[in-house]
A and B are shown apart, each in its own frame.
Chain A
Amino acid sequence: DSGVTQTPKHLITATGQRVTLRCSPRSGDLSVYWYQQSLDQGLQFLIQYYNGEERAKGNILERFSAQQFPDLHSELNLSSLELGDSALYFCASSVSSRVGTQYFGPGTRLTVL
């Protein structure tokens, strides 16, 4: 158990809908990362937050957004969902915004029908 929690574990929804994925980092970790894992794209970095502020952006679609709250939990919002958004979404956390091990949560499996 990495200490990173993600909810929900599974999510099934329809095209055009909006969903919110939630992540709670390990106790003491200030940095949160979101990654998408799909069969054709592998593991791709989406976005990073550190202590409530956005620090880095990867290949995140404009339909996707994220935030980190004062209690350090983070939410990834996916809107106008398309079939191709079906994937595993992982949250990871680390102590700092730069150096250190990233600990991954168990992921949320999103299925868009």
Chain B
Amino acid sequence: QQQVKQSPQSLIVQKGGISIINCAYENTAFDYFPWYQQFPGKGPALLIAIRPDVSEKKEGRFTISFNKSAKQFSLHIMDSQPGDSATYFCAASKETSGSRLTFGEGTQLTVNP
């Protein structure tokens, strides 16, 4: 059972544009929602994370929007740069009962110069 669904599978954006990646979850017990960035040959690296008590969190060019009622959250990358080209994973966990991460399928982002 895929508990976190991510879309799109791939995304091509022009430099300076906005990249938007969406995720939907099923388990309402999830209480921690991180986004990870992975470059080829590297491990996933935490980008930004949110808890359901807030609807938005911004760190630099990266923003998470969270809609608890719709069980959806999204990553917005403003002013996308070629260096942002990577695979992005959303994830979710229930921190109150162990914090193992359930990952989405991943989005391969390409930012063209």
Query: Are A56 and B95 touching (Cβ within 8 A)?
Result: no
Mark interface residues in A96-113 (1 if CB within 8 Å of B CB, else 0). Answer: 111111111111000000
Complex partner residue of A100 from B44, B99, B100, B106, CB under 8 angstroms:
B99
Is B18 an interface residue, CB under 8 A from the partner? no
Q: When the two chains form the complex, which single residue of A43, A44, A56, A97 contacts B44, counting CB atoms closer than 8 Å?
A: A43
Partner of B46, one of A48, A55, A102: A102
Residue of A whose beta carbon sits closest to that of B91: A43
A102 to B101 CA separation, bound complex (whole angstroms): 9
In the bound complex, what is the Cα–Cα distance between A90 and B97 (angstroms)?
22
Most buried by A among B42, B97, B101: B101
Q: Interface range on chain A: under 10, 10 to 19, 20 to 34, or 35 or more?
A: 20 to 34
When distances are taken between beta carbons in the complex, the residues of chain A under 8 Å from B100 are 33, 45, 48, 56, 58
Answer whether A45 and B43 are a contact pair too, CB < 8 Å, given A98-B95, A98-B96, A101-B49: no
A23 to B75 CA separation, bound complex (whole angstroms) = 30
- Total residue contacts A-B, CB cutoff 8 A: 60
In the complex, per-residue mask of B42-62: 1 if CB is within 8 Å of any chain A CB, else 0: 111110010000000000000
| Additional pairs, 5, CB under 8 Å, beyond known A43-B103, A43-B106, A44-B103 | A42-B104, A58-B100, A99-B32, A100-B99, A102-B34
Residues of B within 8 A of A (CB): 32, 34, 36, 41-46, 49, 89, 95-106
The answer, among A4, A97, A103, for a CB contact under 8 Å with B99, is: A97
B52 vs chain A, min Cβ distance (A): 14
Q: Which residues of B contact A4 (CB under 8 A)?
A: 43
A15 interface residue (CB < 8 Å to B): no
Known: A2-B45, A42-B103, A105-B43. A99 touches B98 (CB 8 A): no
Considering the chains assembled together, what is the distance between the CA atoms of A31 and B98 in angstroms? 10
Residue numbers in A under 8 Å from B97 (CB-CB) = 98
Task: Compute how far the CA of A103 lies from the CA of B104 in the bound complex, rounded to whole angstroms.
Answer: 17
Q: How far is the CA of A99 from the CA of B95 in the complex (A)?
A: 5
> Chain A's nearest CB lies how many Å from the CB of B54?
16
Point out the residue from B43, B96, B104, B106 that lies within 8 Å of A104, measured CB to CB: B43
